[in-house]
Amino acid sequence: MHAASFHWGMGMGDAQRRLQLALDAAHMAIWDSRMPNGKIVDGTVSWSAHGATLLGLKAQQLTQPFAAFLDCVVPDDRRRVVAVMQDAAERRGDYELEYRVRWPDGTQRWLAAKARVFCDAGGAPERTLGLIWDVSARVLDKLRAAERKELAEVTLSSIGDGVITTDALGKTVYLNRAAEQLTGWTNALAQGLDIGVTLRLVDEASGAALEHPAVKCLHQRQAIGVSAHSQLVTRDGRRIAVEDTAAPIWSSDGVVLGVVVVFRDVSHERKLSQQLSWQATHDSLTGLINRREFETQVAAALRASKLDGHVHALLYMDLDQFKVVNDTCGHTAGDVLLQLLAKMLQEAMRDSDILARLGGDELGVLLPHCPPDQARLIAEQIRQSINDFHFVWDASSFELGVSIGLVEINQDSKSMTGLLIAADQACYLAKEQGRNRILVYQESDLMLARRQGEMLWVTRLNEAFELQHFRLYAMPIVHLSARAESHDEILIRILNTQGELILPGAFIPAAERYDLMAAIDRWVIKAVCHHIKSVRDSLAAPDAFAESHRRTPALFSVNLSGVSLGDPCLQDYVTEQFVEYEVAPEQICFEITETALIANLPRAQVFMQHMKQLGCRFSLDDFGSGFSSFGYLKALPVDYLKIDGIFVRGIAGNAVNRAMVKAINEVGHVMGLQTVAEYVEDEATLGVVRALGVDYAQGYAVGNLRPLTPGRD
């Protein structure tokens, strides 16, 4: 069509007007090109005014050489434009074409053309005539959709969770890479298979098939939440712990098109959860159930007695020579002894009997459906088997005994706590009456014996004050870097008239009940100050001068009871000892337990602030046994955190304990505190503690208990 033919004028026919109106409404223009000798590139292109605007040009009729038009086309598309048009000319046929043009302002647009080739009278191709219009919006939408699809596929392919989609019948449509790896099915193999085949889920406890979340989702037409006990059975039969959710895929008009199932491997998390659950109910050293779980079992037995009238029995056992093994050979030997005894006792008991470790060397046994006479026979068998047990460690051999308290569980029993207290009291009386024996709980006998035992200890403690029977021992606290310093925790013992050392566990309860703890604490403070002065006075003058000017003088950690923390006169007493014995406050560190702090917090804060100003240091003992400790750290001038030994012992083979120590150590360091690991009894534990970055260690792996003073005069 020649350019002149675009001039419609006033004489335009109705048909032409209607055509123009239709083209304008469709945003289309006439696409007209001439090709002399059948060569597209040698011809011209004619545009209507609207057609010129499609090239970004002024809205006016225009005829231009084909080469000029081709310059408007994006270079990458030029060869294709020429090839398609030339092919149509040679075929004398139609063609369709999409290509990009770049406007003079740099804008890029997409154009679409449809045209037909017309020939002259001799049949030679003469021109193409058709329509052209802007399709940029459609093409961009298509490109964006493709990008979104590609992004979604890349995202699904790269995420760690498995994703499977189904159709409305639950047939598999798509698996991402993680789903392929977890299930063992490839995307190609899984196509069209039922979701129950590609994602086979069973209950981890029973192995029974579960109601599939995808099927449930299709039936209920709503999202299905996480299943916490599912196992995936892979294509090759392996089982993997998974968590899975399912959600419907909706169309725009509210039709469920299928389901998307998201699942992930939670083997590690579930294993850790099981370990934590086991830890919560078991003793990590012996594998026996712990005190908390034992109390639960006793409570259940008591409920059963009240419901059905059955009689059960409870044994409370205390090993008689356990402390001798610990003191002679160290805690590692004691741990091995407990493990061997636990294994031996479990093998000897009935399947229904329940054996537990209640504390250090204390064991409990629950004998279900066991009348008193039979319970006494079983208790005697246990006593005899422990009595016959010989424990050998290095060159030392030990014979053991056990004191057993026996209490009946029946309809008249008052409470679980009362039963345990009764059994404990019976065990205590068995020890008082000569050890290695069984005593059946009788309330009248036990109450009298307990009062007599406590009063006896009051007498012994008063004698210890009068006759100077108290002895101090030092347990080193060793820095785990190259820093050389002297730091000891001071521990108290009683040396009785038979030459036996009595540990605090035997006399501290009586001292607490009869208000003697404050006196014991003051004795220890005074004795430590006296020791510091004695060491200094024993040195030659130059050595004494050097000692007094050491950058890091010897540090002594002294334990304070809750009673002393609540004593408003304690700080004056401590100050008087510092003055009398010329002791630098920097040489004293007070160790305080969380329990004592909580019970006496206001006065403890006053005492700690005053002593801190003088130069004393403070250590929070058994940190981690009660997590409320974290809340007090900000309000108290603490220098050291002593990580509870329950987390440190066995840390080399216990990932949970290792994580606990790591967390406590990091919290301490963030708060600017030094950390101390207690009960570091062997090289393996020491290696782990050192690797975790703990500052100090205390235990037989770094130093032995040694006498501090031979006595006081």
| CATH of 283-441 given 3.40.50.150, 3.20.20.100, 3.30.70.270, 1.25.40.10 | 3.30.70.270
Q: Are 6 and 46 in contact (CB under 8 A)?
A: yes
Alpha-carbon span 605 to 270, nearest angstrom? 43
Give me the residue spans of the domains in the chain: 3-140, 159-265, 283-441, 460-709
- Tokens coding 527: 């004795």
Question: What does the alpha-carbon distance between residue 97 and residue 562 come to, in Å, rounded to a whole number?
Answer: 92
Q: Using alpha carbons, list the distances in angstroms from residue 379 to 152, 288, 293, 366, 418.
A: 69, 18, 21, 11, 20
CA distance linking residue 328 with residue 503, whole number of Å: 13
Q: 3-140 with 159-265: one CATH topology?
A: yes
Ranges of beta strands (E only) in 496-587 are 501-502, 555-559
Closest listed residue to residue 709, CA positions, set 466, 465, 472 = 472
Other beta carbons less than 10 A from residue 710's beta carbon: 10
What class is the 460-709 domain?
alpha beta
Q: How far apart are CA 54 and CA 74, in angstroms?
A: 14
The token pair that represents 11 in the structure block:
């004489």
The hierarchical CATH code for the domain 3-140 is 3.30.450.20
Contacting residues for 631 by C-beta, under 8 A, at least 6 apart: none
Rounded to whole angstroms, the Cα distance separating 695 from 688 reads 12
Spatial strand order in the sheet of 28-34: 62-65, 44-47, 28-34, 125-134, 108-119, 94-102
Other Cβ atoms closer than 10 A to 687: 14
Largest CA distance in the chain: 141
**H-type alpha helices, 267-330:** 267-281, 291-308, 322-329
Residues of the chain with pLDDT under 50: 1-12, 448, 627-628, 710-713
- Amino acid 243: pLDDT: 87
Handedness of CA 589, 593, 597, 599 (dihedral sign): negative
Q: Of 308, 280, 285, give the one whose Cα is nearest residue 369.
A: 308
**Residue 278, pLDDT score:** 78
- DSSP structure string for 243-258: EEEEEEEEPTTS-EEE
The two three-digit tokens of residue 397, written as one number: 């051999």
Six-digit token string for 255? 């039709």
Write down the architecture of domain 159-265 according to CATH: 2-Layer Sandwich (3.30)
